[in-house]
Amino acid sequence: MPIEARIDNKECRIMGNFNLSVRDKLIIVFINIIFIVSIAKGRYAVMALFGFLALFVMILFKPDYRRMPRRIFTVFLYPLFVSIFIPFINPGNILAELDLRLLTITITDNGLTTFITVLIKSFLSILLVASLMLSTDEKELFYGLRKIKVPGIMVSIMFLMYRYIFLIREESRAGQMAINARIFKRSHYAVNRKLAYLMGNLFIKSFDRAENIYKSMESRGFTGEFHITGRTPKSSNLSIAFLLTFIIIPATIKIVELARIV
């Protein structure tokens, strides 16, 4: 039995009856992210052009703007913390130096340029992905991934992870409440030992539940395919032309970068 999802008619409407399907939105986001990641470091003018293009895509997708800042800020913390040491470890001309007796911290021009480039690329990529996620239903996204030929096993794993991650979180919260109710003298040793027991218990429960879910889905004929019930927009000539436009524009910006016009 294939997993079914109902479309809520959340496709982007551009001109009259023209619809931008989930597949088209996925292709636009993936193409733009590939070109953004390929930008050479220090090419700020090219990054600005991709920034304007990313803003236009965001306006086109019409996401929930109230949730956008928090979502972007939360995800942006990961590349920020990972890349925070780049200015101090890359070789180059020294811009600033701090002597701490035990070690000397230096900031180089090459490291600073790389750091800023990584942050801009990360921000633009997160902006595109957040616009896609906040403008499309989760089940439609999984259906769209199958439409662009992502392997079914990968889509099924992502779907099941998304479906049951909330259940694991609730089980963990219930276990932590039980620990807090039973530990009166909260030493670090006792708390850490109980948390280790909780993690082991969650692992065993997750394994058993996964086996039961697999047998249940297999008995119902699940083949890993996703199907949408309801009306699905068909690709018109206008939608194909619009999709090609969003492939040609980033490719043109890349050519401009390689030609060093800006």
Place of tokens 């180089």: 108
Neighbour tally for 87: CB within 10 Å: 22
Query: What is the rounded CA–CA span in Å between residue 26 and residue 30?
Result: 6
For residue 57, give the nearest of 135, 138, 149, 137 by alpha carbon. 135
Do residues 136 and 11 lie in contact, with contact meaning Cβ atoms separated by under 8 Å?
A: no
Q: What is the pLDDT along the chain (262 residues), one digit of tens a residue?
A: 444 444 444 444 444 445 678 888 899 999 999 999 999 988 999 999 999 999 999 988 888 888 899 989 999 999 999 888 888 888 878 888 777 777 778 888 888 899 999 999 999 999 999 999 888 887 788 888 888 888 877 887 887 777 777 777 787 787 777 777 776 566 667 667 777 777 887 788 777 877 887 788 778 777 766 665 555 556 667 778 888 888 899 999 989 888 877 6
Q: Phi and psi for 136 in degrees, rounded to 5?
A: -135, 140
Q: Collect all residues with Cβ–Cβ distance below 8 Å to 128 and sequence separation of at least 6.
A: 29, 32, 33, 54, 57, 58
Tokens encoding 102: 């035990």
Give Cα 255 to chain centroid, integer Å: 27
Do residues 62 and 135 lie in contact, with contact meaning Cβ atoms separated by under 8 Å?
A: yes
Helices marked H in the chain: 22-37, 44-61, 68-83, 86-89, 109-133, 138-147, 152-182, 188-219, 237-258
β partners of residue 12? 20
Q: pLDDT (tens digit, 9 = 90+) per residue, 71-129?
A: 899 999 999 998 888 888 888 788 887 777 777 788 888 888 999 999 999 999 999 99
Please tell me the pTM assigned to this model: 0.75
Residue ranges of domains in the chain: 3-62+135-258
Instruction: Give SS3 for 136.
Output: coil
